Structure 1
Amino acid sequence: MADVVGGLVHAVLMADRKHGRPAPTTETTITAVNWDSRDLTGEEHERVLFVDADLTEATGVGAVFTDCTFRGVRFNASTHTDGAFVNCTFVRCGFFDATFTGCKFVGSMFDDCTYDLLKVAGGDWSFTGLPGADLRRASFTDVRMRETDLTGARCAGATIRGVDLSGSWLHKADFSGCDLRGSDISALDPLTTELRRAVIDPYQAVVLATSLGLDVRD
């Protein structure tokens, strides 16, 4: 790999993963590379540490990143289709106006990243860690996000439609004004989350009423 500048093993510290699982170690390092507008189609990277890389306006179909760590990487205005970022770690990365369609992020962890105008459509983000994430200007539609850690996430005004949030950690998350229609909110406790002005469908209203101990009848 032409851009590899080191072969040392790196262990990166960041927000804890679920159940205390450690972040994967990396074996090579790519630093300050300029991949602006690069076509990532078909590329595969495993156990690589990317530091201060610029992926602004990068595109790609089917790119695969496994057990990689991205530190200070800019994904701004990039477009990714049917790609995979499996068990990866993102630290202080920027996702301004980035689009991920049908992508797989299973087991990945996000720490101190920015998500303004992030658009996620389809794909599998199960077991991801987004604790405290500011997702107020992000959009997630038809995404599988089972057992995702959204503890304390700020989702006020966001779009989270048709999303499978079953088993997710939602304690202290703020969904005020959020469009949640069609999403599985069975793991949501209305007593520990903020839901003022959230948009929900009739079925979800029944789910919330039931979770409050109400007896819903015709």
Structure 2
Amino acid sequence: MLQHHKQNYSEVNFSGQDMRYGELIGCTFTRCSFTNGTLDEINSINCRFIECDFQGASLNGSIHTESAFENCNFSRSNLFSSKFVTCKMTGSNFTDSTLDGFSISKGDWSYTILRNARLVRQDLREVRFLEVDFSGANLEKADLRGADLTLASFSKAKLHGADVRGANMNGVDFKAFTISGMRLDKEQAILYTLSHGAKVD
């Protein structure tokens, strides 16, 4: 089994490599490429990935705990049943990624691109999604209670049955999506009303 403990890698090409069942602890990867690699069931703990490329990589069943993926590219990657626990994902791109069965536990996903992502019934409570691009995403019946959705983009997203009670939705354009079937709290209902030009006394 591949093991890396407290190692630093800069601009290393891991493309196409078989890294299945690997264990990464306290490592830093800067501008490394993992494109089309096999990272199924890999386990990362307290690692940092900076501007790394995971395009087309397979990360099925991988588990990431308190790791950071900053400005990484996950486009066309397979994240089926992967887990991200208290991770920092700021600025990462998940365009055309397979996210079925993956899970997020808290963490900071600010500025990520989750355009057209399938997030049906996902438990996304208390996750920080500041200025995230959810355009066209399917968030039906997703649990977003207590999440930070400040300035997030939901253009043409599907949110029927989604629960956003207690979430911060300041700056969200409520005219860009349909709220039918959503569970809102009073503050969000006021934001929705204001966004459509009404005055609330």
Q: The TM-score by the shorter chain falls in which range?
A: 0.7 to 0.9
Q: Distance in 2 between matches of 1:191 and 1:126?
A: 22
Measured after TM superposition, the shift of residue 88 of structure 1 is: 0.7
Q: Distance in 2 between matches of 1:207 and 1:120?
A: 27
1:176 aligns with 2:169: no
Which structure 2 segments of 5+ residues have no match?
Answer: 3-9
Q: Among residues 64, 74, 83, which one is paired with 2:58 in the alignment?
A: 74
Measured after TM superposition, the shift of residue 89 of structure 1 is: 0.7
Q: Among residues 126, 129, 133, which one is paired with 1:149 in the alignment?
A: 133
Q: Distance in 2 between matches of 1:123 and 1:209?
A: 30
Measured after TM superposition, the shift of residue 93 of structure 1 is: 0.9
Q: Once structures 1 and 2 are overlaid, which stretch shifts more, 26-35 or 97-106? A: 26-35
Q: Distance in 2 between matches of 1:47 and 1:191?
A: 38
Measured after TM superposition, the shift of residue 84 of structure 1 is: 0.3
1:190 aligns with 2:199: no
Q: What TM-score, normalized by structure 1, do the two folds share?
A: 0.80
Contact 2:93 2:113 in 1 (8 A): yes
Partner of 1:92: helix, strand, or coil?
Answer: coil
1:164 aligns with 2:138: no
Which structure 1 segments of 5+ residues have no match?
Answer: 3-25
Q: Once structures 1 and 2 are overlaid, which stretch shifts more, 206-215 or 121-130? A: 206-215
Partner of 2:104: helix, strand, or coil?
Answer: strand
Q: Among residues 24, 48, 57, which one is paired with 2:41 in the alignment?
A: 57
1:105 aligns with 2:89: yes
The amino acid of 1:64's aligned partner reads: R
Q: Equivalent residue for 2:196?
A: 212
The amino acid of 2:191's aligned partner reads: V
Measured after TM superposition, the shift of residue 216 of structure 1 is: 4.0
Q: Distance in 1 between matches of 2:59 and 2:178?
A: 30
Quote the sequence identity (%): 33
Q: Distance in 2 between matches of 1:86 and 1:210?
A: 35
- The verdict on how the C-alpha distance between 1:106 and 1:157 changes in structure 2, with shifts beyond 3 A counting, is same
Contact 1:115 1:137 in 2 (8 A): no
Q: Distance in 2 between matches of 1:170 and 1:79?
A: 28
Q: Among residues 26, 43, 51, which one is paired with 2:27 in the alignment?
A: 43
Partner of 2:107: helix, strand, or coil?
Answer: coil
Kindly tell me the number of residue pairs found equivalent between the two proteins: 193
Partner of 1:90: helix, strand, or coil?
Answer: coil
The amino acid of 2:154's aligned partner reads: L
The amino acid of 1:203's aligned partner reads: E
Measured after TM superposition, the shift of residue 166 of structure 1 is: 0.7
Q: What TM-score, normalized by structure 2, do the two folds share?
A: 0.86
Q: Once structures 1 and 2 are overlaid, which stretch shifts more, 67-76 or 177-186? A: 177-186
Q: Distance in 2 between matches of 1:214 and 1:139?
A: 32
Q: CA deviation digits over 1:29-57, x for unaligned, max 9?
A: 21222222221121211111112222222
Partner of 1:100: helix, strand, or coil?
Answer: strand
Q: Distance in 1 between matches of 2:128 and 2:185?
A: 19
Contact 1:170 1:187 in 2 (8 A): no
Contact 2:175 2:195 in 1 (8 A): no
Contact 2:77 2:96 in 1 (8 A): yes
